[in-house]
């Protein structure tokens, strides 16, 4: 009987020891994880991005147009670059950056066209869209050369404005785009 009780005590002790060892392993795993996390946090302390940005601006230099906007240039390594060393050739633009640039350019095109068309506010949105797209596509300086078209627009003579669009090198150069815009100028309706 004593032998059985002793054996039971040993078994109970072994079970407690196993439970303790299991808890010990869990504690050690937590300690180890915490230590790893502490080491990683030391390596990845917050970087001073402001310093990096200012240093890049200082180090990279920049090329600007006369109006102050950044200009595409080739860096010393021969890659197309813009801003302060952004290698656009290697990285390109993601959709959100491209969309932001498009929105900005269309906004500029609209404000520039509004300055040369005295009755801008009286023109329907479809024909405004035609003029904005033409300005975006060729630039305001080239659009200003469409003097007869602009005169026809000021008179709201849409047939003549469309005829002047068609009678241009631009009409032949841009293909289907010009045909769509021509129809819009004539009809005052967006394509279906």
Range of the domain at 35: 1-45
- Same domain flag for 103 and 183: yes
- Same domain flag for 27 and 109: no
The encoded tokens of residue 113 equal: 């066209």
- Same domain flag for 10 and 66: no
Q: How far apart are CA 89 and CA 97, in angstroms?
A: 15
> Which parts of the chain sit beneath pLDDT 50?
1
Q: How far apart are CA 153 and CA 161, in angstroms?
A: 6
Q: Of 91, 119, 153, which residue constitutes the final position of a domain?
A: 91
For residue 94, the model assigns a pLDDT of 92
For residue 55, the model assigns a pLDDT of 80
**Quick check: is 3 in a domain?**
yes
Which neighbouring-strand residues pair with 73?
81
- Same domain flag for 106 and 145: yes
- Same domain flag for 148 and 68: no
- Same domain flag for 22 and 81: no
For residue 29, the model assigns a pLDDT of 59
- Same domain flag for 171 and 108: yes
For residue 57, the model assigns a pLDDT of 79
Please state the pTM of the whole predicted model.
0.67
Task: Give the angle 146-149-155 at the CA atoms, nearest 5°.
Answer: 140
- Same domain flag for 170 and 141: yes
- Same domain flag for 139 and 177: yes
**Quick check: is 192 in a domain?**
no
Going along the chain, which residue ranges are E strands? 73-74, 80-82, 86-87
Give me the number of domains the chain comprises. Answer: 3
For residue 2, the model assigns a pLDDT of 52
- Same domain flag for 99 and 124: yes
């Amino acid at each position: 009987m004593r032998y059985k009780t002793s054996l039971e005590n040993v078994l109970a002790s072994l079970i407690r020891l196993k439970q303790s060892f299991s808890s010990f392993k869990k504690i050690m795993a937590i300690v180890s994880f915490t230590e790893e996390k502490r080491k990683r946090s030391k390596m990845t302390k917050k970087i001073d991005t402001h310093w990096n940005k200012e240093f890049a601006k200082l180090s990279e230099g920049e090329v600007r147009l006369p109006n102050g906007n950044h200009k595409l240039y080739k860096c010393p390594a021969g890659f197309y670059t813009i801003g302060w060393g952004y290698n656009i050739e290697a990285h390109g633009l993601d959709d959100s950056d491209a969309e932001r640039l498009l929105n900005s350019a269309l906004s500029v095109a609209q404000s520039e066209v509004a300055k040369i068309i005295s009755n801008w506010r009286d023109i329907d949105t479809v024909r405004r869209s035609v003029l904005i797209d033409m300005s975006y596509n060729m630039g305001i300086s080239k659009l200003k050369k469409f003097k007869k078209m602009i005169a026809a627009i000021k008179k709201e003579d849409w047939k003549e404005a469309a005829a002047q669009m068609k009678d241009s090198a631009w009409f032949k150069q841009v293909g289907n785009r010009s045909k769509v815009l021509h129809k819009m100028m004539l009809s005052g309706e967006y394509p279906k």
